[in-house]
Amino acid sequence: MEQEQIIREVTLDLEKVSNSNELGEVRNKYLSKKGLISGLMVKMKDLPVEEKITFGKTVNELKEKVTNLIESKRAEIEEKELSAKLESERIDITMPGDDFARGSKHPISIINDEITQVFLGMGYTVKEGPEVEEDLYNFEMLNLPKDHPARDMQDTFYIDETRLLRTHTSPVQARTMLSLNGKGPVKIICPGKVYRKDDDDATHSHQFNQIEGLVVDKNVTMSDLKGTLELFAKKMFGNDRKVKFRSSYFPFTEPSVEVDVSCGKCGGKGCPMCKGTGWIEVLGAGMVHPNVLRMSGFDPEVYQGFAFGLGIDRVALLRYGIDDIRLLYSNDLRFLSQFGKEN
Ligand code: DAH
């Protein structure tokens, strides 16, 4: 039988093989069902019985040898292919990386996040409302009926008779209370953009940002408001800061106050930053007016509340010593990229 011949042929075929596909072809040629070796097995049935045993044995030995030859070639090829793959995917970790421009947080976002964190820590939740607001929520439900002179305190962009760009974040108070059907407690802050028909200059912008705060519960007093705002001022501006409450007027609160924080630049002695007064005005606040509670479905005999509103832009100007609010809105990357890189 041509055993030697087949082995030689396999060896020759394998010498020409350079990849696993070619190896597969060689394997098929000899070892598949229709391959050469199976062909020999088929021949066996025509042999006389005495020859069958030795023939079968020889073919089996041949099959084993051929398999061994092919498998050792497979190991060799797989190793070659693996190292070629590794070589082609080699990464040079000493190459300099691609640089890409990194953005930075806007100073208003930084301050907004900081203020929000302080109040979240005191158990408040964040509520938002629409910037295109109804006169009803922006004014009427806050005790500012049509033709009320105090509407002039906030020069308004009207869209039509009933809609406007909200002039403050206070309408979120009314919206939130209404949704609660007269059941407290309420403890929210409402950050957002507001709009006023002001001429832009270093201290005025027709668009700016506020955070409104509202607490409504049973037995809420002015001292709760004071304690809250004192804690807030110290957390935001530093433990050494003093807080002063000045009596003021807002239609939606009674009594109303404005809150000043001692000037961080001069420590309260008086400097250009605080216009020589030693104090910087930071927010407006007061006890929620009974009319406001009533209009939003809360019984003022049962519930009391305090509210406050502060300008985020103003806090950003103070914090970073920026002297022109317009810088916050002019999108000059040379200015903006100085802030918030660490985030
Ligand atoms: N809404 C006021 C404003 O924009 C700020 C304010 C004052 C809000 C007193 C309040 C408050 O909630 O109690 O001028």
How is 61-84 classified by DSSP, letter by letter? HHHHHHHHHHHHHHHHHHHHHHHH
Longest dimension (CA), the chain: 124
Is any atom of ligand 1 closer than 6 Å to the C-beta of 250? yes
Pocket of ligand 1 contains residue 129 by CB under 6 Å = no
317 Cβ contact list (under 8 Å, min separation 6)? 323, 325, 328
For ligand 1, whether the C-beta of 171 sits within 6 Å is no
Measured distance CA(244)–CA(319) in Å, rounded: 19
Residue nearest to atom 13 of ligand 1 (CA): 285
Distance 308 CA to ligand 1 centre (A): 6
Q: How far is the CA of 282 from the centre of ligand 1 (A)?
A: 11
Q: Is the CB of 308 under 6 A from ligand 1?
A: yes
Give the nearest ligand 1 atom to 213 CA.
12
Tokens of 242: 């003093």
Coil, strand or helix at 134: strand
Tell me the whole-structure pTM to 2 decimals: 0.72
- Average pLDDT per 10 consecutive residues for the chain, totaling 343 residues: 83 92 92 88 84 87 92 93 91 87 91 97 97 97 91 90 96 97 96 95 93 98 96 92 94 96 88 88 96 97 97 92 92 92 59
pLDDT of 41: 83
Six-digit token string for 326: 């317009």
Q: What is the pLDDT of residue 343?
A: 45
CA pair distance 37, 221, nearest whole angstrom? 100
| Exposure on the CB side of residue 61, measured as CA atoms within 13 A | 10
Q: Cα of 130 to ligand 1 centre, how many Å?
A: 17
Looking at residue 46, what is its pLDDT?
86
Phi then psi for residue 197, to 5 deg, are -80, 55
Tell whether ligand 1 has an atom less than 6 A from the beta carbon of residue 170. yes
Closest Cα to atom 12, ligand 1: which residue?
308
- The Cα-based distances of 119 to 38, 136, 170, 314, 318 in angstroms read 83, 28, 17, 18, 20
Is the CB of 205 inside a 6 Å radius of any atom of ligand 1? no
